């Protein structure tokens, strides 16, 4: 996928409407700044490709974009961001806070990025052009083998606004049944807690996952738990 193709397929990612940091689209300005930056990098012994703009990395899961932007004070510089391929393809990311018979379900999940085990709520991406509610139900089935009795939309969440351009939808779910953890994806077991115990795990840094903390916070502030 090329930069221009990405702009066409996902125009919302390039909107300058009401933007304090403007994306520069004039190709002559971009070419000039790339040349200047590459010269600086070369003179300081760094790879010239660090001065490339546009789509600088892509795999089946992510793209990394390096835009040329203008800041509010008039400074022009390069700014990188990571976009999930699922977001570009219209796949809704979801996080689900599951509850069954008064206890909250956490997944004991191994995460490659941190090389650590984490207590987390189920989350993920599903199929293109499906509703967030549908994705939430499918995610619960996939990761826990469980079924949802009722689902409450808690609102949206951005995990890292300084780097990531993705939005996920948060949900609170009452489960009708309990299945088994998806061990093939690194989920070792379920960990059941009360809300008081959940708060203690967050307070004591046992739970550090931002998605989990965000879903809990939304549910708490909305008076659901």
Q: What is the DSSP string of the chain?
A: --HHHHHHH-GGGG--TT-SSEEP--HHHHHHHHHHHHHHHHHTT--GGGG--EEEEE-SSEEEEEEEEE-TTS-EEEEEEEEEHHHHTTPPEEEEEEEETTEEEEEEEEETTTTEEEEE--EEE--TT--HHHHHHHHHHHHH--EEEEEEEEEEE-S-TTTB---EEEEEEEEEE-----GGGTEEEEEEE-HHHHHHHHHTTS---HHHHHHHHHHHHTT--
CATH number at residue 110: 3.90.79.10
pLDDT, averaged per 10 consecutive residues of the chain (225 residues), comes to 85 93 95 96 96 94 95 96 87 94 97 97 87 94 96 95 91 97 96 98 97 98 95
Residue 106 sits in the same domain as residue 199 = yes
Residue 138 sits in the same domain as residue 185 = yes
Residue 99 sits in the same domain as residue 78 = no
Residue 105 sits in the same domain as residue 166 = yes
Residue 111 sits in the same domain as residue 210 = yes
Among 85, 118, 145, give the residue marking a domain's end.
85
- pLDDT of amino acid 12: 87
Residue 76 sits in the same domain as residue 97 = no
Residue 187 sits in the same domain as residue 217 = yes
The range of the structural domain enclosing residue 165 comes to: 93-221
- pLDDT of amino acid 130: 86
Among 64, 85, 106, give the residue marking a domain's end.
85
- pLDDT of amino acid 107: 98
Residue 116 sits in the same domain as residue 203 = yes
Residue 50 sits in the same domain as residue 125 = no
Residue 99 sits in the same domain as residue 149 = yes
- pLDDT of amino acid 200: 98
- pLDDT of amino acid 86: 85
Among 85, 116, 131, give the residue marking a domain's end.
85
Q: Per the structure, how many domains does the chain have?
A: 2
């Amino acid at each position: 996928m090329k930069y221009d193709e990405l702009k066409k397929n996902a125009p919302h990612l390039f909107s300058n409407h009401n933007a304090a940091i403007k994306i520069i689209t004039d190709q002559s300005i971009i070419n000039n700044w790339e040349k200047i930056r590459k010269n600086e990098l070369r003179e300081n012994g760094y790879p010239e490709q660090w001065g490339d703009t546009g789509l600088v990395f892509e795999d089946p899961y992510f793209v990394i974009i390096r835009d040329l932007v203008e800041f509010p004070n008039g400074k022009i510089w390069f700014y990188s961001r990571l976009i999930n391929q699922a977001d570009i393809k219209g796949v809704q990311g979801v996080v689900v806070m599951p509850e069954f018979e008064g206890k909250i379900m956490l997944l004991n999940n191994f995460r490659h990025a941190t090389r650590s085990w984490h207590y987390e709520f189920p989350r993920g991406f599903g199929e293109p052009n499906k509703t967030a509610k549908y994705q939430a139900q499918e995610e619960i089935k996939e990761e826990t083998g469980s079924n949802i009795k009722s689902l409450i939309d808690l609102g949206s969440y951005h995990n890292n606004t300084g780097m990531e351009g993705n939005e996920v939808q948060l949900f609170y779910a009452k489960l009708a049944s309990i299945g088994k953890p998806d061990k093939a994806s690194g989920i070792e077991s379920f960990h059941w807690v009360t809300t008081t115990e959940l708060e203690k795990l967050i307070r004591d840094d046992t739970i550090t996952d931002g998605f989990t903390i965000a879903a809990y916070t939304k549910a708490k502030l909305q008076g659901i738990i």
